[in-house]
Amino acid sequence: MVILQKQPPYFMSILAKKRLKGQQRHLVEEDQNLKINFGDRNHLLGNYSGSSAVIDAAVHTINLRNLNQEKAGL
């Protein structure tokens, strides 16, 4: 026996679409906030979070300082 799935009423699908649009808008706003706070988190392979950017910047600064000390003969 084949059981047919009952389609939701038309107004329910409208509400579902509105809810989905609201969720998508919220996600876009959240994504923009992340970019404002942390810079482009999609750097490299898309897994570049704010804390990674801060750590990379600190390591880069330390490496530059060490390189400058080597050049100066310290």
pLDDT in tens, 21-49: 766 666 666 555 555 444 444 444 445 55
| 24 domain-assigned | yes
| 38 domain-assigned | yes
| 1 domain-assigned | no
Average pLDDT, the chain: 63
Identify the DSSP state of 42: T
pLDDT greater than 50 at residue 50: yes
For residue 20, the enclosing domain spans: 10-72
| 14 domain-assigned | yes
| 5 domain-assigned | no
Q: Rounded to whole angstroms, how far apart are CA atoms 18 and 33?
A: 23
Total domains in the chain come to 1
Residue 39's pLDDT is what? 47
